[in-house]
Amino acid sequence: MHIIEVEDLWKIYKNGIEALRGISFTVDEGEIFSFLGPNGAGKTTTIKILSCVLKPSKGKVVVNGFSSPKECEKIRKIVTTVPQEFQGFSDLTVRENIEYFAKLYDTTDKVDEIIQKLNLKEHERKRFKELSGGLKRKVAIACGLVGNPKVIFLDEPTVGLDPKSRRNLWELIKSLKDMKITIFLATHYLEEAERLADRVGVLYKGRIVRISTPSELMNEFKKENLEEAYLALMEEMKSEEE
């Protein structure tokens, strides 16, 4: 079952910049779907449209059967976004941060469950500002999970983390899939997408140029890893423009 359906989606800003130029794709329920592409390709713009932060210029957007922008009130109740720049409330504890978001969602009964699931019990009394980068990202995800979402949008979730923290967060993301949550992942880390994603969509200058599994893309370009295959695809796109 498709939980996200996008058809001929455009986003044209007032200054005339075409951030998205007619993209179409679907995401299956319970899938980890990763968006790849260079800076400015349209990844964050797509996430903002799907999560009802931005309105599309034109095109069809359906999330769990609800159309955007007409039914955004319903969409917002079933999706959550964990932005790259999530800061949290510095002087509040881990528990207090999660409780704050639980009150917004009216799901305060979920706080203890989420703290347990994300192994945050030993850190729940620490102030957010005292946490490591990896723990801050985990708390950010916890604040999103407490709303009981069907879809989580993760925008560069491991940027700036050390290798160990990054791999710990990968395990957390995999566990979200086990909870039957659909994960929409935007990342610059190709190893991350290769390890986590069921399928990847590659954006280039506002258009989708590939949708496939990581292994299919690697086979297409006869490369041993996704990073090399992605770079080969980018070279192909540049050569076509010349």
Sign of CA dihedral 237, 238, 239, 241: positive
Quote the pTM value: 0.91
- List all residues 6 or more positions away from 87 whose beta carbon is below 8 Å from its beta carbon: none
User: What strands, in cross-sheet order, belong to the sheet with 32-36?
Assistant: 79-82, 151-155, 182-186, 32-36, 199-204, 207-212
3-state secondary structure 36-71: ECCCCCCHHHHHHHHCCCCCCCEEEEEECCEEECCC
Q: Which two tokens stand for residue 184?
A: 């929409």
Q: What is the mean pLDDT of the chain?
A: 93
Domains of the chain plus CATH, in order, are 2-78+153-160+183-241 (3.40.50.300)
Sign of CA dihedral 225, 21, 71, 156: positive
pLDDT at 85 over 80: no
Q: What is the pLDDT of residue 87?
A: 83
**DSSP 8-class letter at 127:** B
Give the C-alpha separation, 233 to 60, whole Å.
27
3-state SS class at 180: coil
pLDDT at 242 over 70: no
pLDDT digits (tens, 9 = 90+) for 121-175: 999 999 999 999 889 989 999 999 999 999 999 988 888 888 888 888 899 899 8
